[in-house]
Structure 1
């Protein structure tokens, strides 16, 4: 029964193909791409603005707002079923050091006065952002999001919720069928379906060529990815009518974080394209966020359409719905 429930999360066949375009499309910034793809559903008269008198909340590390406790606990279930796959960046290592060894502008993990320095060994970095079309409640898509975190890749996600008017039709136009995930790498001109093929491609191109064991178990990998989503079944699946942003939002986070997951569910439901800045444990981008804000905590949202930057998952969700959902 559990197996059937997990697999029912996928609304698409598992077969697919790889498409290698003969000619690379002209290079475009991702901001322009979003405008061209979403302009059909957004009136030029629609104004995108934060709620009146909106003020971003102060970050509260590891605090859960009482009304979100159930959601966060449910979103943490994949940690158990997926053995925390994606919590560490490739080549992760740590060492206990003196606090004096850490420069003041660098992030370090502090555990009850013990300072832990985290490092990683990353592969080649793509020059342009990889693009992935997917949706939150799909176990095949989760597998790809996990490898994105392990490889510490920054990816533009184009959400494809059921009945979404923009990006599901776009995938059909580009690849010939509405099957997810679908990846486009503008650095090589490669596009492809099939989660396992995408994982293999990303590991070969931007990693060390080795697929992590927890992502190489075939049906068992997909099954555990599906089982981990049972507590959030239906979330991040169906389109909620929303304004289309002229520019993609930017979300700092990583797949394993339950706080990031509940924010991603809303981004998908509202069909809001977003650049995910991956920052799992060991990511050097933790230092960048620390330098930018004086604090490391995820999720952290940057909305270039309104100028809002904010921490705190519960308030981010409220902000997204108030700013983009059509009443």
Structure 2
């Protein structure tokens, strides 16, 4: 328990280092018909840039973890793109396959942003992601390397599903475990849509019963989670391979290690 809380504290410090990127997003995303696919690994600062924008645009996407030492999806990236470089992004809606975080970010804002233009704070990213790199180091470089004992384990038949948002420290520690276990999953972004959403489920800035924005994405997610208090809590994991549905990062990580480790 203590070790887990230390990991969460490091993940929180990593998120703070990012200046709040990856926490807030539009309540009305332009979700494409075909799934966006991201080949990446949790500890990569370049991949983190892309994940932050995906949260800003509140887009759901498929994740194919490619940790260092991984054998499944790194090979696929090389076959498709010609080299093992990350992030690697596939958008079957436009027919594009892209390397390089800056190119991917421009693509996302062009096709799924409100104006089609990339906001200045994202268009002027430095070539070397010093801030995101610092966040990776603070987070203990979790999600960088594969757990060697599971290299020969086949991938599950169906993609796992995880609800969260990039800057959530509790979600970050779960994503790190998914990366280290090389487990593919669908990431459902649940970005904070307005000030009333700020804060953890039990300590929101706005007291009283939580009411999601009418017509927003969070209103749909409340129904998916089916919590007694009609609130939103992340991370939330669904494993269609076993029928498991669960909250609490500590419990989720324990389940993933037992089931797939």
Same fold (TM over 0.5): yes
Partner of 1:74: 10
Is 1:222 the counterpart of 2:129 in the alignment?
A: yes
Report deviation, 1:220: 7.2
C-alpha deviations, 1:88-137, integer Å up to 9, x for none? 113xxxxxxxxxxxxxxxxxxxxxxxxxxxxx354x32001100000011
Partner of 2:103: 197
User: Considering only CA atoms, is the larger Rg found in Structure 1 or Structure 2?
Assistant: 1
- Secondary structure of 2:129's counterpart equals helix
- Secondary structure of 2:241's counterpart equals coil
Q: Which runs of 5+ in 1 are unaligned?
A: 1-64, 91-119
Whole-Å separation in 2 of the counterparts to 1:158 and 1:214? 27
Whole-Å separation in 1 of the counterparts to 2:188 and 2:62? 9
Is 1:142 the counterpart of 2:48 in the alignment?
A: yes
Kept in 2: contact 1:77–1:229 (CA 8 A):
no
Kept in 2: contact 1:82–1:214 (CA 8 A):
no
Whole-Å separation in 2 of the counterparts to 1:186 and 1:230? 34
Whole-Å separation in 2 of the counterparts to 1:189 and 1:245? 27
Match of 2:219 among 254, 279, 287: 287
Report deviation, 1:234: 2.8
Whole-Å separation in 2 of the counterparts to 1:121 and 1:321? 35
Report deviation, 1:223: 1.0
Q: Which runs of 5+ in 2 are unaligned?
A: 194-212
Report deviation, 1:243: 4.2
Report deviation, 1:221: 7.2
Whole-Å separation in 1 of the counterparts to 2:180 and 2:110? 32
Q: How many residues align?
A: 231
- Secondary structure of 1:229's counterpart equals helix
TM-score (norm 2): 0.84
- Secondary structure of 2:242's counterpart equals coil
Alignment of 1:1-327 (within 5 A): 65-90=1-26, 120-122=27-29, 124-208=30-114, 209-219=116-126, 222-240=129-147, 241=150, 242-282=153-193, 284-292=216-224, 293-294=226-227, 295-325=231-261
- Secondary structure of 2:221's counterpart equals helix
Report deviation, 1:239: 1.4
- Secondary structure of 1:318's counterpart equals helix
Kept in 2: contact 1:85–1:214 (CA 8 A):
no
Whole-Å separation in 2 of the counterparts to 1:220 and 1:212? 17
Report deviation, 1:138: 0.5
Whole-Å separation in 2 of the counterparts to 1:277 and 1:127? 15
Report deviation, 1:73: 1.0
Report deviation, 1:68: 1.9
The higher-RCO structure (CA 8 Å, 6+ apart) is 1
C-alpha deviations, 1:246-298, integer Å up to 9, x for none? 11100001100000000000000111000000111018332223123123100
Whole-Å separation in 1 of the counterparts to 2:99 and 2:136? 22
